[in-house]
């Protein structure tokens, strides 16, 4: 075991999978230079035929990845910012997500769509979203949102080995986060949540950067409110069982998610909890999400995005 930064873990996962399988390659904008550091140094080892810099054309990048996956390769399509997936909506949501179903399961689509998500850098609306909702609304796509270096590496390796299209969203505010990462080969299974902190008074479900805000809140409330923090790690497939077990124990739920509040993951999960665990609830489910508003630039950003203070207030309110 050694300590790596989040971005180093992503880089290492790509390198190891490319060494393991010659059919794995990466295509995207400015990746030979190492945009954000996730692909730094890879072109020196694997060459420009496997680390493919593309024009600024997300439709073409996604289409190239889709065609290569159908031909038996395992492409990783790096959009730089996940927001840019909207430009390639047809290729992602109508083609990649649905073609395996439409071809009777006879066509594998081992394809990863990768991109940075989230606010915190004041990069304005087209570079700061967490577009989980459109992915979850498109049957056939899987979605991973790692919150630690360990999970960033393990989930990305699982995604690359999967025969289905996977969206892998990494949060730009976690780039420098350090944590223990095994030296030996490992993967993190999809659909298995992690209880980051046990508790008995309230269940706090959080993903990606929100996990760290949730843990901060749990520490601040220790001795007054016992908070159980659950990190789903993947939103599709979702480990609902672990969440429902926690709800049965605590009777109260707060969901922290950086996607917008309306029609987002938090709304879906809250309704599933109501459907499956209504009798366990001692209070209404609370959501802490981005406001239903475009993410502005500059300091105003903080008023739109969720943060630790808002999560803490929600936990205190649901317990009252």
Q: Which residues are catalytic?
A: 127
Q: For residue 115, what is the enclosing H or E element?
A: strand 112-117
Distance CA 83, CA 78 (A): 12
Which residue, among 142, 165, 152, 145, has the nearest Cα to 258 in the 3D structure? 145
Contacts of 119 (CB under 8 A, 6+ apart): 128, 173, 258, 290, 295, 301, 304, 305
Which residue, among 167, 177, 160, 173, has the nearest Cα to 131 in the 3D structure? 167
Using left for φ > 0, alpha for ψ between -120 and 50, and beta otherwise, residue 25 falls in: beta
Partnered with residue 250 across adjacent β-strands are none
Please answer whether residues 31 and 39 qualify as being in contact, where contact means their C-beta atoms are separated by less than 8 angstroms. Answer: yes
Please answer whether residues 75 and 64 qualify as being in contact, where contact means their C-beta atoms are separated by less than 8 angstroms. Answer: yes
Q: Which whole-number Å values give the CA distances from 201 to 196, 198, 207, 271, 314, in the listed order?
A: 15, 10, 20, 20, 13
Contacts of 34 (CB under 8 A, 6+ apart): 40, 41, 42
Q: Which whole-number Å values give the CA distances from 308 to 109, 219, 312, in the listed order?
A: 38, 11, 6
CA terminus-to-terminus distance, the chain: 42
Contacts of 106 (CB under 8 A, 6+ apart): none
Give 36's DSSP letter: G
């Amino acid at each position: 075991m050694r300590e790596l930064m989040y971005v180093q873990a992503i880089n290492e996962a790509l390198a190891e999978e490319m060494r393991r399988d010659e059919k794995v390659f990466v295509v995207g904008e400015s990746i030979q230079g190492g945009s954000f550091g996730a692909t730094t140094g890879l072109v020196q080892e694997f060459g420009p035929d496997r680390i493919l810099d593309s024009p600024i054309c997300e439709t073409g990048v996604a289409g190239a990845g889709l065609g290569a996956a159908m031909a038996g390769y395992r492409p990783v399509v790096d959009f730089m910012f996940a927001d840019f997936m909207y430009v390639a909506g047809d290729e992602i949501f109508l083609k990649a997500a649905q073609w395996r179903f439409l071809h009777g399961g006879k066509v594998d689509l081992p394809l990863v769509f990768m991109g940075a998500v989230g606010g915190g850098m004041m990069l304005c609306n087209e570079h700061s979203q967490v577009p989980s909702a459109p992915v979850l609304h498109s049957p056939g796509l899987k979605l991973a949102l790692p919150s630690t270096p360990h999970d960033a590496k393990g989930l990305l390796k699982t995604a690359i080995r999967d025969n289905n299209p996977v969206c892998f969203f990494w949060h730009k505010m976690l780039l420098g986060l350090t944590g223990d990462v095994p030296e030996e080969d490992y993967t993190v299974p999809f659909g298995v949540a992690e209880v980051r902190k046990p508790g008995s008074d309230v269940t706090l479900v959080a993903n990606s950067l929100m996990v760290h805000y949730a843990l901060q809140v749990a520490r601040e409330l220790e001795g007054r409110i016992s908070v159980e923090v659950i990190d789903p790690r993947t939103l599709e497939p979702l480990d609902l069982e672990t969440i429902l077990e926690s709800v049965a124990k605590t009777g109260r739920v707060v969901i922290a998610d950086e996607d917008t509040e309306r029609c987002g993951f938090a709304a879906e999960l809250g309704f599933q909890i109501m459907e499956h665990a209504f009798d366990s609830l001692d209070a209404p489910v609370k959501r802490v999400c981005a406001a239903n508003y475009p993410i502005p630039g500059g300091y105003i950003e903080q008023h739109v995005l969720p943060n630790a203070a808002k999560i803490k207030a929600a936990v205190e309110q649901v317990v009252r």
